[in-house]
Chain A
């Protein structure tokens, strides 16, 4: 891999959109490694964080993809990071939909790209799904700590996980103690992710079936950082029993990784996983 590319040598800032209010960074591979027919990767905000991502994860991922021959655009959705709010009375979903379309239009105009892969983290993953339904240019999506629904196995794992994990048991008891004696201990640590509302799982399942049939590839990555709705490796298949793991739909669960991949070791594994998935699914 080119050291210069990994340090951002081929990145350029852009300001785009009909209102010229969206800010992003375009990343280009070196000419020798460019995969000209491969899809461009569009990297959305991780929740409400600036486009650089948690611990600069999005920057590192974009540069890894550039080094592997893929063009990238990472940008701030309206009102997040450096991007201004879009005019008009639109909700978050409506704004994100227009923002992502304008990001793809920008890269199509700059590079001639006709296919795109979306990388979404947390609410960014939530936005990727409806976007793919209405824009057939989207051929792949990396969905990190995306939607989830509690299943029977979720509750079983939740119960036994608490009993047999001494740290979880300690934290659980400590929380109970704090409720009983509010001022006896420190303030509890809040959950790592904010409240999100998910669409009905039956609808999502049939939409995923439709998208896979259309030719889309998905990589779902879950961590232990969303224990309020996802807590073990097999849960995805319990949520989506009509779907099967194969090359077009891959699901990983990192059971000892926090939501924002705070440890270097976890981030490295993540970057490698996504880059390898891209090379495998979109080698052109």
Chain B
């Protein structure tokens, strides 16, 4: 393990490089793109499990924190989708320099998957793009979060008021500024899938309202349905860590590497 900071001097990002297990090394690197805000907290443990499996299978892995999240500099309100897409570019560059690999694949979860798709669509050279329950519609995603937030405080034993002002809004423990809300609300999956040298893999957990790939994507993606439920839209799950369950083997399968 090698924890380090990277990116612009005044806006540092936290990264954790995980080298492949000795003797199993493959010449490929994986950048993990976590979700943002509340789902970022929920995803931590499962993405650790994913990265452990990937390094055992011989891959170079970089986990990183978006600007404004985790150990990175800044505050959550400082981030924008444009900034986070740039974070992915910086992370890929850093992983290439640390590991010496020239081939990178992206594994993204929820909004992280959507940002990964945009990074690939903006010209970043990617082998495989693995999307775990990607956010297809930014406005639906935001409304879902607002609904959970509302229900969470309606169920609370005491009446409490969260901030919803002209310039800022509080949703599930995080403050958003208005421009950020608008930008995230507009963060849809690209209309057409990005060009990648490998494949695009869509991994979907169980949900009462499963989200299908958009029409422009159906022909290009390999869809895998898992039996596990992530509970992204469930009030009961908002304070629970996402259990990795079938996610690590599904990611390995998508990347075409054998579990060790």
Contacts and interface: CB of A to CB of B under 8 A. Distances in A.
Nearest to A51: B71
A68 interface: no
A263 B241 CA distance: 19
B3 A81 contact: no
Given A13-B4, A260-B239, A171 B157 contact: yes
A117 B8 CA distance: 33
B44 A167 contact: no
Interface centre among A8, A48, A81, A264 (most CB of B within 10 A): A8
Interface centre among A11, A82, A224 (most CB of B within 10 A): A82
Interface string A70-109: 0000000000011010000000000000000000000000
B172 A25 contact: no
A7 B160 contact: no
Nearest to A193: B239
B48 to A, nearest CB: 7
Contact of A8 (B72, B159, B170): B72
A21 B78 CA distance: 31
Interface residues of A, number: 44
Interface in A1-55: 4, 6-9, 11-15, 21, 23, 25, 48-52, 54-55
Contact of A15 (B2, B63, B69, B74): B2
Interface of B: 1-5, 10, 12, 14, 16, 41, 44-45, 48, 63, 65, 69-76, 78, 152, 155-160, 162-163, 170, 172-175, 235-236, 239-241
29 contacts: A7-B74, A8-B71, A13-B4, A13-B14, A15-B1, A21-B1, A23-B3, A25-B14, A50-B44, A51-B71, A59-B71, A82-B1, A82-B16, A82-B48, A165-B157, A167-B156, A167-B158, A168-B157, A187-B236, A189-B155, A192-B239, A255-B158, A258-B156, A260-B239, A263-B162, A263-B170, A264-B163, A264-B175, A265-B163
Given A11-B71, A11-B73, A21-B1, 6 more contacts: A25-B14, A48-B241, A49-B44, A56-B70, A190-B240, A262-B152
